[in-house]
Structure 1
């Protein structure tokens, strides 16, 4: 993940490193000048004292300017990286149908977590480590004993994060999971908001959301506990370094091995060493704790381009099992080949709709395998979003019936006016004053169930797909009209229709019928 962040703009990273080095060198120089400044006072050299004061002011301004511009470069680099990652994220979910709340979590919470707990922490750690190196060199110019003591305390300080790394990682991962659960729970209730109002169970929505929200809050509090205790232990060790170095410098002064100003300057520098080292270690501990989140987001970068669906020959499910929260299990052994016209029937609960969700990647198998084979019978990754899938619950958009058929592609307008005849929608349109140009309000739909299904069927046919998967697409349409529509649908290359109310003569139009049974 860090390499990809750097590759977003290597030139900017070089500039960022340059200004970080300038910042830490000049910050160290500012404290280093305390030594000659105090010695000038002790020796009564007023002019030298003024020169050093002015020099220190200039050094501080250069450091501040470097900090500001370096921070700006970091923000620009990070936002450019997130822009590319979001594009990969959206592309991944377009080609790999999945949970909506999972997508929302990756696009919002996990990116925020990555920003605050990884890139920012790495940036902080890098600058603090640079500063520690600069201070070590400054102390070495005074006396090697000061460096030895600082190094000894630093080694002990470095051992603290290893002790807490496991706990902080666990706490951060729990936040990511809790946030995902919160979004998923919220989504499940929001999509059913009309039912919540109808049955007046708003209190249950509030209670359920509150319960899940409390779990998220507890996980965040738990992470803070781990970080706070780790920081406390870190600070305790730092105190030995911060107070020890001035004491050693004082002893060296009385032994005439260093100047008086060294005592104060070493104290400042010691504070800088251990506070910076503590911040660097704390930052790296937090950054390491995002390992699981980084692995999750990294899948978008590693994803190979999916093949177009016209390269797909066979969809095969072998010993597939789906488990539900109520412990129900559905089993599948199924094969759909290019050119098949298959009817899937079975009682309610036998898994007809679930079968289509498995094929389209919306439902994962608990066990068994699903393979998508090309025309050489080799398993490949395909862009499943290109499957012509028509679910039971489809969506109408604000706009005319025409726009809902063409999906706002004006180039298909002429063809849409022809295809309404294929799905027997023309007669319905004649009842509307504006016909196919009748506007639809998704919040106040006056269309019948059959009319909506015909619109969805027209939408599926006008956007042709090599594989057409239809879930109860004729359930609200009368038998005579359904027969005419089925005959038109079966002109498509590959059709899989889920239905439960077809007549014997309608079933005979298909090349194969697969009857699913409920699990015992």
Structure 2
């Protein structure tokens, strides 16, 4: 992320906003120049000329404020359009990279990280542009008065520009630390608040408060550290500014006393030096903040990288699969090695094994949600022909089904309107029709994720209906389905792999065979 991308995306607003910002900054110097002319008129006892320059000064003030405001509005509009595009690219990247991402990390990237760049990089950029214009205006104005003033200002400028670079690296580290601490804080909130009801049930509020306070404290400490470095940077800049301002005023007094410059410059030199040194201070400060975001901008650029998916138009719905030499390693150093397995089209498989044997992990590998460390998975159609799979057509009922804050119908069709006609048949087959008739708006009832208005059993039925309406030829069920619903599913032609811990002989007889991990 950088200003060049914004320039290409919003050429007109970018150029107009920068131009108005620079004109307004130059106008402030013009206001200071009129002060010189006003004091010259006072010295010459010319009231009419004094009033004339006063009117011009007021007009300049009005135009300066107007241009600053218009520039700010145009700049923010351009930025919001740009950030909207960036968020879309980040979301697309996370959607297609086939990795599991912590919700807190994604939230942090889409909100806090972009907010940091908004403030510390892009807003700094437009202010730097205005300050450059201010420096150029002051330079040309001082040159018209006396070249010695310009030389003195340039020497002091060198000191002020290079002094703050001493804090570049500490500021970069502080900015990175704030982003990391915020990501950890959001992740912690997501991990703990999702189980708030259980914590409340066991009265474990003290553990919740301590954990949240711990990570909140880290975020607070990171912000304090960044503020400390910012203040150190401001202190160095202010020190250089104050010394420079005093030296320029002394030099002006000397030049006026020797009739080398006009008397009115005594009144306005403070404004000129303030504009010059505050601009120099601002440039050093803002460019330091911009450089501090370099690492963060590189990370966001990587998060925006477009990923070319391997899906093709020839992808087909799988009905069977085989796995060979399949294994997966986890970050904690553990892993799972799977036996070679073949599941033919139409088979009904009972998948059993001890907890941690890899049953749910195998499902995630089949669905493409996890990537194997080695080995391969091959998919086949109903005729036993090897195919390139459309993994979205695999039916999946997890232990904790995923829903979206929209209607039951759309949660079943997953936003594919072409499947609307099959909803009624699907809900009847999973014995959900009677539940739907009792709901206020039937299948158009919206699911409330905060106060879930569907029971656990109803959630299972919705996901099973999702598999049926999509005509999945392969259905994976992870320990979630009543005996009656399971019997209905097993009477169909789809291939079914069912994970069960607690099962009896009656359930075992429903399946063609058992695979034990």
What TM-score do you get using the length of structure 1 for normalisation?
Answer: 0.80
Distance across 2 between alignment mates of 1:384 and 1:101: 27
> Does structure 2 conserve the Cα–Cα contact (< 8 Å) formed by 1:487 and 1:509?
no
Report the counterpart of residue 136 of structure 1 in structure 2.
139
Q: Map 1:1-40 to 2 at 5 A.
A: 1=1, 2-40=3-41
Q: Relative to 1, partners in 2 of residues 1:254 and 1:481: Cα closer, same or farther, differing over 3 Å?
A: closer
> Are residue 264 (structure 1) and residue 271 (structure 2) matched?
no
Q: Relative to 1, partners in 2 of residues 1:386 and 1:209: Cα closer, same or farther, differing over 3 Å?
A: farther
Distance across 1 between alignment mates of 2:54 and 2:243: 30
Q: Relative to 1, partners in 2 of residues 1:120 and 1:363: Cα closer, same or farther, differing over 3 Å?
A: farther
Distance across 1 between alignment mates of 2:342 and 2:148: 78
Report the counterpart of residue 323 of structure 1 in structure 2.
331
- The one of 102, 109, 113 aligned to 1:110: 113
Equivalent residue of 2:492, what SS?
helix
> Are residue 60 (structure 1) and residue 61 (structure 2) matched?
yes
- The one of 225, 229, 232 aligned to 2:232: 229
- The one of 195, 199, 219 aligned to 1:192: 195
What is the RMSD computed on CA atoms of the aligned residues?
4.0
Distance across 2 between alignment mates of 1:200 and 1:143: 77
**More displaced stretch, 125-134 vs 1-10:** 1-10
> Does structure 2 conserve the Cα–Cα contact (< 8 Å) formed by 1:309 and 1:384?
no
Report the counterpart of residue 379 of structure 1 in structure 2.
none
**Pairwise CA distance, 1:61:** 1.7
- The one of 244, 250, 253 aligned to 1:250: 253
Equivalent residue of 1:260, what SS?
coil
Q: How many pairs does the alignment contain?
A: 492
Equivalent residue of 1:44, what SS?
coil
- The one of 182, 185, 199 aligned to 2:185: 182
> Does structure 1 conserve the Cα–Cα contact (< 8 Å) formed by 2:413 and 2:469?
yes
Distance across 2 between alignment mates of 1:373 and 1:81: 42
* Deviations, residues 93-125 of structure 1 (Å, cap 9, x unaligned): 444453222222223222222222221122222
> Are residue 83 (structure 1) and residue 84 (structure 2) matched?
yes
Which sections of structure 2, spanning at least 5 residues, go unmatched?
381-388
Q: Map 1:5-404 to 2 at 5 A.
A: 5-96=6-97, 98-304=101-307, 306=309, 308=311, 320-324=328-332, 329-332=334-337, 345-357=352-364, 368=373, 388-395=395-402, 404=411
Distance across 1 between alignment mates of 2:158 and 2:378: 56
> Does structure 2 conserve the Cα–Cα contact (< 8 Å) formed by 1:306 and 1:383?
no
Q: Relative to 1, partners in 2 of residues 1:130 and 1:357: Cα closer, same or farther, differing over 3 Å?
A: farther
> Does structure 1 conserve the Cα–Cα contact (< 8 Å) formed by 2:6 and 2:79?
yes
Q: Relative to 1, partners in 2 of residues 1:240 and 1:255: Cα closer, same or farther, differing over 3 Å?
A: same
Distance across 1 between alignment mates of 2:143 and 2:343: 76
Q: Relative to 1, partners in 2 of residues 1:337 and 1:235: Cα closer, same or farther, differing over 3 Å?
A: farther
> Does structure 1 conserve the Cα–Cα contact (< 8 Å) formed by 2:25 and 2:134?
yes
Distance across 2 between alignment mates of 1:488 and 1:414: 19
